[in-house]
Chain A
Amino acid sequence: MSILFTGRATGAAAKKISLLRRFIMFWLNHARQAVASLGELWRTPSASILTIAVLGVSLTLPATLHLLVKNMQQISSSFTQAAEISLYIREQTPDNQVQSLVAILQADRDISQVIFVSKQQAMTEFQEISGFGAALNYLDSNPLPDVIRVLPKNTAPEAAQLLLKRLSNERIVDFAKLDIDWLTRLNAIVSMLQQAVAIIALLLLSAVLLIVGNTIRLSIMNKKDEIEVMKLVGATDAFIQRPFLYTGVWFGIFGGLLAFLVVELMLWWLQGAISNVTALYQSDFSLMAMSFQEFIGLLIIAVLLGLAGSYLSVRRHISAIEPTGP
């Protein structure tokens, strides 16, 4: 409705259109403008490609670091659960003393499981696994000690460490072993990496915001005349802004997709190298790729950043353009 002329029907809204049709038109209009913005990108390929490339690279780094942390967490958690203390029994300890220690340990509240492996059992196992087989029969005596394997209830490194200290004080225990130092270190590294990822992500994402904002600013400056004309014939800032916001969204989509592709390529490249390493360690570790949710998350973050960057730019620069008139 016109401000100056009461009763002057203006615009399409003046025509009696059903709510449903207007709703459909609304989305149709948006789709049309989105496609138009895409066409605009197509027409200035060099600037667009450069921006999208910078965006893709900026998003690749945080995404890669995120995957790195995710995989390291997987490693460390799989080992934490297997935290196991081995008690090596002194040589020549009578069997009944060993059995009574096993009974005591089974009653211990800090311990969830006790497995006793006698030296004979150990030898048989060793013969099977090592492949020396019958050759070992030529040994005069069994050099292996009795071993009690203990699984602590609390598998956190610190708790396991305490239990280890206590158990190694047992009289018949020669020494107790818990390979845990590297685990503590790994945990520390993971948590440090997590923080580093957060900081780097924050920095790079604000870079993305600035890059998109600047590209949109340049394109607003290029269209200054056009924007003035639109303002002169009655376009609102919101109307003028819309195509630029769509451009920001497209930057986000393409930047996000590029980042995804680069990450996938990198994983594919690394997979070979990593399988060599894991084969050496007889581990069944396999590299975790980006999940579908993570992919969608990456895209959403990229689109939101593109939109936010263009919004910041558009808010400042479009209202600043004032037509100078006839």
Chain B
Amino acid sequence: MLQFDQVSKSYPGGFVALDRISFRLEKGEMAFLTGHSGAGKSTLLKLISLIERPSAGRVLINDIELSRIKRSQIPFVRRDVGIIFQNHRLLMNHTVFDNVALPLVIEGFTGKEMVKRVHAALDKVGLLDKVRCLPATLSGGEQQRVGIARAVVNKPPLLLADEPTGNLDPDLSKDTMRVFEAFNQVGVSVLVATHDLGLVARMKYRTLTLKHGRMINDGLLQYQEPV
């Protein structure tokens, strides 16, 4: 479903953030994207969500090359890709409900159908009791989960997460990962960028490792926890 073919990205100024990356993520597959800070994880995710365009190579989703997507079509591509942002990116002066409902409102949902879906998404992340709260009154972990609910509320076939456990304690991190697993089990393709190597190793999923913009490992992480 998702394919990178010799993709490079250099930022203005000549800095090479990604260097000839190639991989495939199949439909219904879940994988981690790891690497030290600055390795290019966020850049890779930005190429998928069309926030950045590659300098060379091709990014394909369902065999459609993203470089062929016109500017006016970008919003529709983004509706197919659920994104969870490192810094949450919630609307701070709108309630949790409004935040989660946003993708639905954009797609023209109204009334009962919208409320039903928002509640279902909030239920999955365990925040049903915070529907009427403002994001500022929630903890960091809760805000992160509101972001997850927003990303999955319109049931996208592909889910991207950038450091979703960045500022969570280990228990919460594990819970969050379980939420992704649950989505993966209903057929959603999931790609999670994280530098939490311990967590990645414990989860036993395919892991793509970046280093200075190069792909240095693709497969199960070799790291083993001390017994």
- Report A's interface with B, CB cutoff 8 A: 2-6, 8, 10-13, 15, 25, 28-29, 225-226, 228-236, 239, 322-326
Contacts and interface: CB of A to CB of B under 8 A. Distances in A.
Contact of A226 (B49, B91, B103): B91
B103 A234 contact: yes
B113 interface: yes
A25 B110 CA distance: 9
B75 A326 contact: no
Contact of B85 (A25, A28, A326): A326
B99 to A, nearest CB: 9
Given A10-B154, A323-B51, A325-B51, A234 B62 contact: no
Contacts of A234: 75-79, 103, 106-107
B115 interface: no
Contacts of A11: 79, 107-109
A6 B108 CA distance: 20
A306 B80 CA distance: 36
Given A10-B154, A325-B46, A325-B49, A2 B110 contact: no
B106 A8 contact: no
Interface string B90-105: 1100000000001100
Given A3-B69, A4-B62, A15-B113, A236 B75 contact: yes
Interface string B2-38: 0000000000000000000000000000000000000
A13 B150 contact: no
A10 B79 contact: yes
Given A2-B76, A12-B109, A236-B75, A325 B42 contact: yes
A232 B89 contact: yes
Interface of B: 42, 45-46, 49, 51-52, 61-62, 64, 69, 72-73, 75-80, 83, 85-86, 89-91, 102-103, 106-110, 113, 150, 154, 157, 160, 162-163, 193
B106 A233 contact: yes
A4 B61 contact: yes
Given A11-B108, A239-B106, A326-B42, A4 B80 contact: yes
The binding surface of chain B is classed by DSSP as mixed
B51 A324 contact: yes
A6 B61 CA distance: 12
Contact of A12 (B62, B102, B113): B113
A229 B106 contact: no
Nearest to B47: A325
B165 to A, nearest CB: 14
Nearest to A29: B110
A2 B89 contact: no
Contacts of A226: 91
A232 B49 contact: yes
B79 A2 contact: yes
Contact of B52 (A13, A225, A228, A325): A325
A227 to B, nearest CB: 10
A324 B42 CA distance: 11
Contacts of B113: 12, 15
B157 A5 contact: yes
Contacts of A5: 62, 80, 157
A29 B104 CA distance: 13
B103 A233 contact: yes
Contacts of A6: 62
A297 B179 CA distance: 59
A324 B91 CA distance: 16
A229 B90 contact: yes
Contacts of B85: 232, 325-326
Contacts of A236: 72, 75, 106
Nearest to B60: A4
A4 B154 CA distance: 15
A236 to B, nearest CB: 5
Nearest to B85: A326
The 6 closest A-B pairs by CB, nearest first: A11-B107, A326-B162, A325-B51, A234-B79, A234-B78, A12-B108
